[in-house]
Amino acid sequence: MKNTVTKQEVDAFDPNLGPCCNATNFRVHLGGTTCNAWNKSAINAFVNDFLSSHSEYPSQEESIRETVGYRKSHVPHTVEESDELKLQKNRQERKRKLYHRHRNVTFLYPSLASQRQLLEQLTSAGMSSDEERLVGHYKQYEVVEPVWRSDIVTAWLRIFDAVYAYARRSKVYGDQRGSAPRVRMSRTQRSTSRKFVPGLPRNAYDDMWFKCQIHPEDTVRLGPDVLYYHDARTIE
């Protein structure tokens, strides 16, 4: 089965703007899971069309939806799709590790303890992603910042990076020879993914991104205002 949905289409898809496809132009993302927004929308399109033609099954909508999802999850992936899934999983794992590194340093330094709750609200989904590339015989990871995240939060997170690097140099984590941190290179391009973390303060979101949202009161669901700042003792 040929996958006619590109990664760019999946990243750019916004379910708030309508379904990804319909019964006459049915397209699933074979390289993704049944949980991604595109495939959820495709499953909905299939189920709605099926029920409109089979009125005898209205009470079985959920079981039909589950069956379609199960069938999709068992479609074999091509080599290219398997490689893309592996890259996605590796990228998500690096985001989780980055989040836990940030969170762990809040237990090491008292001046960061008050920042832990704000960090936990961001979750790993609020961390920067990265793209892996080979430079000679070495791997580098180009940082890709979420398009929805404000520069204020990005600057605030960089202090956690600096504190973690200082802790490593000071051997707070013990002797870690042979496990040097991977090189992450910043770049100005931001992620094209439409996924974001809802419920954060207004100043956690990029102004231009926020103004482009449709009914942000329902989708973004702003949380209470807070200040993203660090104690002077941390910066020193």
Helix (H), strand (E) at residue 120: helix 116-122
Same domain, yes or no: 184 and 140: yes
Whether 120 and 34 map to the same domain: the answer is no
Q: Is there a domain that residue 2 lies in?
A: no
Residues 83 and 40 in one domain: no
Question: Mind listing the pLDDT tens digit for each residue in 154-191?
Answer: 999 999 999 998 888 877 766 555 555 555 556 556 88
Position 201 scores a pLDDT of 95
Same domain, 163 and 230: yes
Please identify, among 49, 73, 97, the residue that sits at the C-terminal boundary of a domain: 73
Which of 40, 57, 73 is the C-terminal boundary of a domain? Answer: 73
Distance of CA 172 to the CA centre of its chain: 30
Q: Does one domain contain both 93 and 162? A: yes
As given in the structure block, the two tokens for residue 83 are: 């490689």
Closest CA to 34 of 22, 46, 52: 46
**What is the total count of domains within the chain?**
2
Whether 223 and 156 map to the same domain: the answer is yes
Looking at residue 109, its pLDDT comes to: 87
Residue 89 sits in the same domain as residue 55: no
* 3-class secondary-structure state, position 141: strand
Whether residue 87 is contained in a domain is answered as yes
**Co-location of 125 and 14 in the same domain:** no
* Range(s) of the domain holding residue 27: 7-73
* Cα-based distances in Å from 118 to 35, 114, 209: 27, 8, 21
pLDDT along the chain (236 residues), means of 10: 71 86 82 76 82 62 56 50 69 89 91 92 90 66 88 94 86 60 61 88 95 89 90 68
pLDDT tens figures, 2-23:
556 887 888 888 888 888 988 7
Same domain, 157 and 63: no
Residue type, 216: P
Do 91 and 19 fall into the same domain? no
Specify the pTM. 0.63
CA distances for 109 relative to 34, 41, 124, 235, angstroms: 41, 45, 21, 12
Last residue of a domain, one of 73, 93, 117: 73
26 belongs to a structural domain: yes
pLDDT in the model for residue 1: 46
